[in-house]
Structure 1
Amino acid sequence: MIRPEAPADAPAIHALTRDAFEHAPHTDHTEHFIVDALRAAGALTLSLVDEQDGLLRGHVALSPVTVSDGTTGWFGLGPISVSLVYQGRGVGSGLVRAALHRLRGQGAAGCVVLGEPGYYGRFGFRVDPKLVLPGVPPEYFQALHWTGAAASGEVNYHPAFNVRGEPGSQNP
């Protein structure tokens, strides 16, 4: 069952996200802190969980992004976390599809994602040379356009994405 997160889910989402990214390549292992910071800032546009028999199997977050040309209505997909036990079983794909469907239904102009082109391409994401995320290889930054004028320029994620851990954590 995919549903919006409930307040009581926050600790389980934190643990799920931490564990899902523990051995992942291309990460600084702060995804669980990013989700916490987005939630604390009221910047989780969508936060969905996949639950089975009371156990959270996966989570996806969407938050607003800014585009330097002033275009509004754009969002960033991620972090996306799936319990190690359920990876490769369609949980992540189901969460992405549900999140994009709900986001589009809310009238979003588009969505960006930083991730594996082969994976996100199946959902319609494509490299758009008019949208840039500084400091990353362009083939890993992709966009999905829905409505309104095409956006163009530098994309910036919410400041929560700059979090580097919490005081006293093992993730400075």
Structure 2
Amino acid sequence: MTTFHIRAEEAHDISAIYDVTEAAFMGIEHSDGAEQDLVDKLRAAKALSLSLVAEAEGEVIGHIAASEVLIGGGAHGWFGIGPVSVRPDRQQQGVGIALMGSALDQLRAESAAGVVLLGDPGYYRRFGFEVVPGLVYPHAPAEYFMAICLNAPEFPQGIVEYHSAFGG
């Protein structure tokens, strides 16, 4: 296994991010097949608050995105993470864990209140994500919608609204 490092997205990474994201979600049961387009839409709308890549031997092997969300129409400083993508041949090698850790560290350092995401609880609980009663994303099963406080003293309550690029 070769080593990799995490860094901020650069302009020359855009097509590789698209390809990695498309490959990572191909054939995934709960995917709509549009995750790679979502990243481009967020970037085009200047709504991509955080975009990190995992790079090994000059190639992008993973990517994580974050964008601001609104909670209950008013809570500020909250971000939604997603999509998180790792090239299929590099999965199960710690790339996703490193991307998530770097993203949370960066958001915490930038005084983000907290983060929400939609994903497998068995995977994301290791980072401190939990299902929060009263924090609602009506477009998915409640057990897959989780949050973590970074700098907020407590979780806000209300319906979570992602950027319009998410289409939901």
Q: Is 1:160 the counterpart of 2:141 in the alignment?
A: no
Letter of the 1:161 counterpart? F
Q: Identify which of 92, 95, 112 aligns with 1:88.
A: 92
Structure 2 stretches lacking a partner, 5+ long:
none
1:11-44 deviation digits (Å, cap 9, x = unpaired)? 1101111111111111101000000000001111
Query: In the alignment, what sits opposite 1:45?
Result: 49
Question: How far apart are the structure 1 equivalents of 2:150 and 2:94?
Answer: 24
How far is 1:89 from its partner? 0.7
Give the root-mean-square deviation of aligned CA atoms. Answer: 1.1
Q: Secondary structure at the match of 2:76?
A: coil
Identical-residue share of aligned pairs (%):
48
Question: How far apart are the structure 2 equivalents of 1:44 and 1:115?
Answer: 19
Q: Is 1:70 the counterpart of 2:74 in the alignment?
A: yes
Question: How far apart are the structure 1 equivalents of 2:115 and 2:108?
Answer: 9
Query: In the alignment, what sits opposite 2:22?
Result: 18
Q: Is 1:106 the counterpart of 2:110 in the alignment?
A: yes
Contact 1:69 1:151 in 2 (8 A): no
Structure 1 stretches lacking a partner, 5+ long:
164-172
Letter of the 2:166 counterpart? F
Q: Identify which of 48, 56, 62 aligns with 2:60.
A: 56
Question: How far apart are the structure 2 equivalents of 1:161 and 1:62?
Answer: 12
How far is 1:71 from its partner? 1.0
Equivalenced residue count is 163
> TM-score, normalised on structure 1?
0.92
Question: How far apart are the structure 1 equivalents of 2:89 and 2:139?
Answer: 32
Give structure 1 regions of 4+ aligned residues with deviation exceeding 4 angstroms: none
Query: In the alignment, what sits opposite 2:142?
Result: 138
Question: How far apart are the structure 1 equivalents of 2:134 and 2:73?
Answer: 10
Q: Secondary structure at the match of 1:39?
A: helix
Contact 1:64 1:158 in 2 (8 A): yes
How far is 1:147 from its partner? 2.5
> TM-score, normalised on structure 2?
0.94
